[in-house]
Amino acid sequence: MVAWHYLYVFHRDGTEVVYREWNRTQPREESEWKSVFGFLFTMRMFTAAIDPSAEQTIPLGTPLPAGQGCGFHACSTDTYKMTVLETPTGVKVVLVTEPTPRDLRGVVWAIYRDAYVPSVHRQHGSKGALDAARMDATLETLRTTSSTVS
């Protein structure tokens, strides 16, 4: 089983919607979510700017509509791995785990599909309210079975 450290879900505007932590040894700094979102934004711009298959060069820093350009999926260090999913609607799911050579995009997709989407109650004119208990129960199931999710 892969050890999960923490999870973020962001709306397309950068608002932190979900934060959960498990095997985290240091307390989270108040502005950490801004750094994580900024990193994702920067990596998305960078990967689009150096994309060798792009028909035309996109200047670094040019905003891209959600779902366009090449994707940034993961990065790792000797102490953690960050796996990212950006949906066509601009929702970003970020899972930080122990470093592993395994591709965890299926796990992150399952978090979005099975935990986040069913837990958001759409209300007319709002971003929706989160059913935290439902999400937490699904996350716990996914966390303990993530070695079998693909």
Quickly count: other Cβ atoms within 10 Å of residue 93's Cβ: 24
Q: 7 with 90: CB under 8 angstroms?
A: no
Among 16-20, 51-55, 98-102, 120-124, name the most confident range: 16-20
What pLDDT is stored for residue 88 in this prediction?
85
Sign of CA dihedral 44, 49, 54, 56: positive
In eight-state DSSP terms, residue 22 is S
Q: CB under 8 Å to 88, separation ≥6 — which residues?
A: 66, 67
Stated pTM of the model: 0.83
Domains along the sequence of the chain with CATH: 4-145 (3.30.450.70)
Chain centre to alpha carbon of residue 7: 7
Q: How confident is the model at residue 1 (pLDDT cuts 50, 70, 90)?
A: confident
pLDDT one-digit tens code per residue, 95-147: 999 998 889 999 999 999 999 998 886 654 456 678 888 889 999 999 988 76
